A and B are shown apart, each in its own frame.
Chain A
Amino acid sequence: MGLNKIFKIRTVALLVLAMTLALNISVQAQTEDTSAAPTAPIDNTQPADAVTSPGALDTAATPTTSTLIDTSVPERPAPAAQEAESAPVWRSAWYHILLFLVACIFIGIIGKVLRVYELSREMQGKPGALNWNKIQGGLFLVMLILGLAATYWTYDVWGGMSMNEAASVHGERIDFMMAITIAITTLVFVLTHILLFGFSFKYKGSSHRKAYFYPHNNALERLWTIIPAIVLTILVLLGFFTWRSITNVSEEDQKKALSVEVVGEQFKWTIRYAGSDNALGLRNYKLTTPSNSLGIDFKDSKSWDDKIAGEIVLPVNRPVRFTIGSKDILHSFYIPDFRVQMNAVPGMPTYFQFTPKYTTEEMREKTSNPKFNYVLLCNKICGAGHYNMQSNVRVVTEKEYNEWLAEQALFYNDDMKKQFPMVSVKPEIESLAVNQ
């Protein structure tokens, strides 16, 4: 019964395979050599069938082969003609499907061989042809060794690719935490996997043995509740204080920092420097116009010395406080080298303060990559252009920074003054204008 059923399945599989083969070859023949088309396919399919039929191992396959040739020959011209047009598209698809089917048949044959072997052993009265428990247990041991080797390799190669020194002051503390966490977790990963796969290998089943009845051991359970708890407490405390030291900046320090604003929109960043007063002018999204794309409120005198820049340029070793905003949807202000990230939320300014440690030039030397650049990415899904929403970031010496800043023009220039005349309503502004 079982055998019969299996053969039926294989017949179906064989039929599918042969049909695919026939179609594929005819299509190939059509495209490659149209003149030879009428004869070539028939010549090709027959040997192909001959190749597959031994795989069936049994007489059951023979009728299949014959019916196949009967049915597929008259059918061939029609699909071939239809597919001649889309042939290049389909050819590689058919090729891969065919490859897969061959692999399936191959696996099926292996399964069959194993089954025949097992049955024959059984008929000879020899017990347990293949001890699958032993095989699987052994595979776990192999897996353990290969897995640990592979883990080492990935840590070595890919780890090397991904580990770059942080280029900011707080980044050092993050990297320190990261190192501790990697050390602890890797240790636990390796130990638990040695136990998991080792036990699987060592205690693989056998009919001669009974398992050890061991329902619980309170001391042991307490032990492995308390140890993780202690380790985690250490990590929590370290992490908590690191986090607070990064995010909880005193107001005094906030004032000392250079104030820069970045505003995200689909799919670019706008950068605004606070100017000589180091205070950003207010914004109101309702004031947004094509020329005043940030909606800066020019009634606020702090906005007059603000400068819009095409890139982020930062002086090295000086704290900088970014005010992060968004015009439309969520974005995320992310500079991996500084270990800096904060979402840009419409309607709610967010902040991140940090101190760059190395200039771009220094980083180029450190990484021995002359093309190195800090880069600002968007790291919150924001639409079609999300994968390319970037801005260049340059860290320079204080002197270079000052020179660069001086070159940048004021945003509230004469043109803008004409466009936004409401400014002149205020008396102090009039006097200022007179002075000029």
Chain B
Amino acid sequence: MSNTTISHTSLEATGHHGHDDAHLHHNESFLTKYIFSQDHKMIAKQFLITGIIMAVIGMVLSILFRIQLAWPDKTFPILETFLGKFAEGGRIKEDFYLALVTIHGTIMVFFVLTTGLSGTFSNLLIPLQIGARDMASPFLNMLSYWLFFVSSVIMVGSFFVESGPASAGWTIYPPLSALPKAIPGSGMGMNLWLISMVLFIASSLMGSLNYISTVLNMRTKGMDMWKMPLTVWAFFLTAVLGVLSFPVLVAAVVLLIFDRSFGTSFYLSDIVLQGQILPNEGGSPILFQHLFWFLGHPEVYIIILPAFGITSEVISTNTRKPIFGYHAMVYSLIGIVILSMIVWGHHMFVTGMNPFLGGVFMITTLIIAVPSAVKVFNYLATLWRGNIRFTPAMLFAIGLVSFFISGGLTGIFLGNASLDINLHDTYFIVAHFHLVMGSAAICGMLAGVYHWFPKMFGRMMDDKLGYLHFWLTFIGAYLVFFPMHFMGLDGVPRRYYAFTEFEFMQEWLTVNEFITWAAIIAALGQVAFLWNFFNSIFNGKPATQNPWKSNTMEWTTPVERLHGNWPGEIPSVYRWPYDYSKPGHHDDYISQIVPFSETMSSNLPHDFEGNPEAERIQRDWELQNAKSKAEENV
């Protein structure tokens, strides 16, 4: 079916073709269609599948270190078969444990949740939902994917380095990350990490600039900013945030490269490493932390905002109700974006930063809970009196709301400097961010995959496997992360190779084993998704044009997914995207491209605010309609 897709390689053709319904057949090679594609939908799929592969790698890494944590004194000879000297005698080595934790974090945060999420759905949905034929710069878009791909290969490739991959934690705080003698992972593995990260940021910037210019310049007729779906708002604001904050991470990384390789002292001072006095003086490790978290905190919003966008869309479509408080949702997104730039210090309350500064950061941090709370309440209000259709996407959207509540609430503990003294770097923070940005964002991503799978591949995923996948993931994630709060409250630090050396941690050993079993089951649950996803690409039930009866513009394109998106002229937009179950209309949805003149029976005065002419027409029609009805009754 998809063979009928007509694609064009040249940019110009993309701009002009499609005004006629007769498609020209350009013979595209495999290479230009699937590999060096400039079509935003194909690039989205490339991002998604790369993201899924990276997610599986990240998940396997987590299972490896969970095994170590659950059974610290058991040997697993099979580990040695696969990991060689990293797991001599069937036990993961201390250094390698830290490497696993580090790369798990890096892959999940950057490669899965940043690019796997934004890259996929921004690419797929921005042009489709604002009515554009492609991105502002398809070539840059292609480059963005390929830089991402190279950086993923380098990151995973660091496992094949003699001294092992980077192992200073995903935050790579120097001096640990700067001194190869301090930990083997800070040798070649760290170089690869830094190179990979620079490429990754370049990729992310290209993507973000593209998204911003597309949203600002390429909206179809009638699509003003306040008619954009919340998905597009979220992707747009995410891109803005990325452009503002990612370059700072480049600065941090480049300075670290200088410290490592060229003998500078940006982050190093007064160090005696294993008896050897280093010459570096005058640097400050705290500087790195400021630079890192200046990106690092916006980063968590870069992860969660697209998930919010997707959830808003999915919840509204599947409750058959308009999203509650559309404007409030947009303003809260904007509020979160602005505030997220000035809260980074809450990661550094006890790192030696001036305590007064900590107090200030604490105030800004807790303020950010207000727009987040508004979002949650608006989701709840959207569910209220809805007509909820439980597609797998909807289940995951509800899952996101639940995880976001649970994880967000523990943020109130950690954002409070005085409580953070005892919780900093413990399992409490592990639980917090795995719920709020790990599980919640993954739920958003999966909701997006289930929801837009028909748009990507022209086929449907299997619902029942989706249900199974959801419940395994949802319950599994809670069973894994909820107990960690209590370990953190007891003062169990994160990144500990084993809990065996401290008396007070002994009682948590059984809990650890429980968590590992939950993690294994949840991980196996993902097989249901993987099977469903890859099998449905080829064997899924063919999709209809608008399987979810959704209002947004992507569902007005043909199932065949043309290069250029719409075969004829791009439709104009007349209304906001959330006219679900509008009273007076015969159906429970009205697409954005349906003009008000076709829905006279359901128009509300609010729809014509500031347009007296339209209001007059509507009034006249209503009068006439009332008359004719009265006549009928007589």
| A and B are partners in one complex rather than unrelated chains | yes
1/0 contact string of B577-595 vs chain A (CB within 8 Å): 0101111000010000000
3 closest A-B pairs by beta carbon, nearest first, are: A336-B491, A347-B269, A247-B355
**In whole Å, how far is A367's beta carbon from the nearest beta carbon of chain B?**
10
1/0 contact string of A202-225 vs chain B (CB within 8 Å): 011110011111111100110011
B416 touches A235 (CB 8 A): yes
- Interface assignment of A339: CB less than 8 Å from any CB of chain B: yes
1/0 contact string of A318-331 vs chain B (CB within 8 Å): 00000000011110
Residue from A143, A162, A381 in contact with B490 in the complex, judged by beta carbons closer than 8 Å:
A162
**In whole Å, how far is A124's beta carbon from the nearest beta carbon of chain B?**
21
The interface centre, meaning the residue of B98, B320, B390 with most chain A CB atoms within 10 A of its CB, is B390
**Residues 343-369 of B at the A interface (beta carbon under 8 Å):** 350-352, 355-356, 358-359, 362-363, 366-367, 369
Residue from A178, A195, A211 in contact with B319 in the complex, judged by beta carbons closer than 8 Å:
A211
**In whole Å, how far is A269's beta carbon from the nearest beta carbon of chain B?**
14
- Interface assignment of B615: CB less than 8 Å from any CB of chain A: no
How many Å lie between the Cα of A133 and that of B369 in the bound state? 33
Q: Which of B197-205, B207-215, B245-253, B397-405 contacts A (4 or more CB under 8 A)?
A: B397-405
Residues of B within 8 A of A286 (CB): 277
How many Å lie between the Cα of A334 and that of B488 in the bound state? 13
How many Å lie between the Cα of A385 and that of B173 in the bound state? 17
- Interface assignment of A174: CB less than 8 Å from any CB of chain B: yes
Q: Which of A14-22, A37-45, A84-92, A308-316 contacts B (4 or more CB under 8 A)?
A: A84-92
- Interface assignment of B386: CB less than 8 Å from any CB of chain A: yes
How many Å lie between the Cα of A200 and that of B322 in the bound state? 16
B positions within 8 Å CB-CB of A = 77-78, 81, 93-95, 98, 168-169, 173-176, 179, 182-183, 268-275, 277, 281, 283-286, 319-328, 350-352, 355-356, 358-359, 362-363, 366-367, 369-370, 373-374, 376-381, 383-390, 395, 398, 401-402, 405-406, 409-410, 412-413, 416-419, 421-422, 424-426, 462-465, 467-468, 471, 474-475, 478, 482-483, 486-491, 493, 495-499, 501-504, 507-508, 511, 524, 527-528, 535, 539, 541, 578, 580-583, 588
A211 touches B539 (CB 8 A): no
How many Å lie between the Cα of A257 and that of B539 in the bound state? 74
Q: Which of A23-31, A185-193, A299-307, A412-420 contacts B (4 or more CB under 8 A)?
A: A185-193
**In whole Å, how far is B591's beta carbon from the nearest beta carbon of chain A?**
16
**Residues 333-388 of A at the B interface (beta carbon under 8 Å):** 334, 336-337, 339-343, 345-348, 350, 371-373, 375, 377-388
11 A-B pairs whose Cβ atoms sit less than 8 Å apart in the complex: A185-B412, A199-B386, A211-B385, A228-B370, A228-B373, A239-B416, A244-B356, A329-B271, A341-B350, A381-B176, A390-B501
- Interface assignment of A281: CB less than 8 Å from any CB of chain B: no
Given A161-B507, A224-B374, A373-B503, do A329 and B179 touch, yes or no (CB 8 Å)? yes
Closest to A345 in B: B352
Residues of A within 8 A of B588 (CB): 210-211
Residues of B within 8 A of A327 (CB): 271-273
A181 touches B413 (CB 8 A): yes
Residues of B within 8 A of A381 (CB): 98, 168-169, 173, 176, 495
Residues of A within 8 A of B471 (CB): 139
**In whole Å, how far is A318's beta carbon from the nearest beta carbon of chain B?**
20
- Interface assignment of A57: CB less than 8 Å from any CB of chain B: no
- Interface assignment of A64: CB less than 8 Å from any CB of chain B: no
B425 touches A332 (CB 8 A): yes
How many Å lie between the Cα of A2 and that of B539 in the bound state? 8
Residue from B326, B410, B487 in contact with A162 in the complex, judged by beta carbons closer than 8 Å:
B487
**In whole Å, how far is A368's beta carbon from the nearest beta carbon of chain B?**
14
**In whole Å, how far is A242's beta carbon from the nearest beta carbon of chain B?**
4
How many Å lie between the Cα of A327 and that of B173 in the bound state? 16
**In whole Å, how far is A354's beta carbon from the nearest beta carbon of chain B?**
10
B176 touches A330 (CB 8 A): yes
- Interface assignment of A152: CB less than 8 Å from any CB of chain B: no
Given A210-B581, A327-B272, A336-B490, do A136 and B418 touch, yes or no (CB 8 Å)? no
A328 touches B501 (CB 8 A): no
Closest to B383 in A: A199
Given A89-B81, A336-B490, do A189 and B286 touch, yes or no (CB 8 Å)? no
- Interface assignment of A137: CB less than 8 Å from any CB of chain B: yes
Given A329-B176, A381-B173, do A345 and B351 touch, yes or no (CB 8 Å)? yes
A203 touches B182 (CB 8 A): no
The interface centre, meaning the residue of B284, B352, B379 with most chain A CB atoms within 10 A of its CB, is B352
How many Å lie between the Cα of A199 and that of B580 in the bound state? 18
A330 touches B495 (CB 8 A): no
How many Å lie between the Cα of A118 and that of B205 in the bound state? 49
Residue from A132, A154, A242, A328 in contact with B463 in the complex, judged by beta carbons closer than 8 Å:
A132
B390 touches A204 (CB 8 A): yes
A236 touches B363 (CB 8 A): yes
Residues of A within 8 A of B175 (CB): 328-330, 346
**In whole Å, how far is A244's beta carbon from the nearest beta carbon of chain B?**
6
Beyond A210-B387, A214-B321, A240-B417, 16 additional contacts (C-beta under 8 Å) are A9-B539, A86-B81, A181-B412, A199-B383, A199-B388, A203-B384, A216-B326, A224-B377, A229-B370, A285-B271, A327-B272, A328-B272, A330-B285, A337-B491, A340-B421, A385-B94
- The SS class assigned to the B binding surface is helix
How many Å lie between the Cα of A227 and that of B290 in the bound state? 32
A positions within 8 Å CB-CB of B = 2, 5-6, 9, 86, 88-90, 92-93, 100, 104, 107, 111, 114, 132-133, 136-137, 139-140, 143, 147, 151, 154, 158-159, 161-164, 173-174, 177-178, 181, 184-185, 188-189, 192-193, 195-197, 199-200, 203-206, 209-217, 220-221, 224-225, 228-229, 232, 235-236, 239-240, 242-244, 246-248, 265-266, 285-286, 288, 290, 295, 327-330, 332, 334, 336-337, 339-343, 345-348, 350, 371-373, 375, 377-388, 390
How many Å lie between the Cα of A12 and that of B379 in the bound state? 43
How many Å lie between the Cα of A288 and that of B421 in the bound state? 31
B409 touches A384 (CB 8 A): no
A339 touches B422 (CB 8 A): yes
Residues of A within 8 A of B182 (CB): 266, 328-329, 382-383
Residues of B within 8 A of A114 (CB): 464
How many Å lie between the Cα of A225 and that of B335 in the bound state? 12
How many Å lie between the Cα of A139 and that of B388 in the bound state? 14
How many Å lie between the Cα of A152 and that of B350 in the bound state? 32
Given A286-B277, A380-B425, do A232 and B370 touch, yes or no (CB 8 Å)? yes
Given A192-B405, A205-B387, A285-B277, do A163 and B489 touch, yes or no (CB 8 Å)? yes
Residues of A within 8 A of B528 (CB): 107
How many Å lie between the Cα of A216 and that of B356 in the bound state? 41
Residues of B within 8 A of A390 (CB): 501-502
B388 touches A347 (CB 8 A): no
B387 touches A330 (CB 8 A): no
Residue from B284, B487, B583 in contact with A213 in the complex, judged by beta carbons closer than 8 Å:
B583
How many Å lie between the Cα of A327 and that of B278 in the bound state? 11
Residues of A within 8 A of B468 (CB): 107
Closest to A367 in B: B504
A174 touches B422 (CB 8 A): yes
A216 touches B325 (CB 8 A): yes
B322 touches A228 (CB 8 A): no
Residues of B within 8 A of A341 (CB): 350, 421-422, 424-425
Residues of B within 8 A of A243 (CB): 355, 358-359, 362, 416-418
How many Å lie between the Cα of A383 and that of B323 in the bound state? 49
The interface centre, meaning the residue of B272, B381, B580 with most chain A CB atoms within 10 A of its CB, is B272
Residues of A within 8 A of B413 (CB): 178, 181, 185
Residue from B286, B324, B482, B524 in contact with A345 in the complex, judged by beta carbons closer than 8 Å:
B286
Given A133-B390, A203-B387, do A181 and B541 touch, yes or no (CB 8 Å)? no
B493 touches A288 (CB 8 A): no
Residues of B within 8 A of A181 (CB): 412-413, 416, 419
**In whole Å, how far is B336's beta carbon from the nearest beta carbon of chain A?**
13
Given A177-B416, A214-B322, do A343 and B352 touch, yes or no (CB 8 Å)? yes
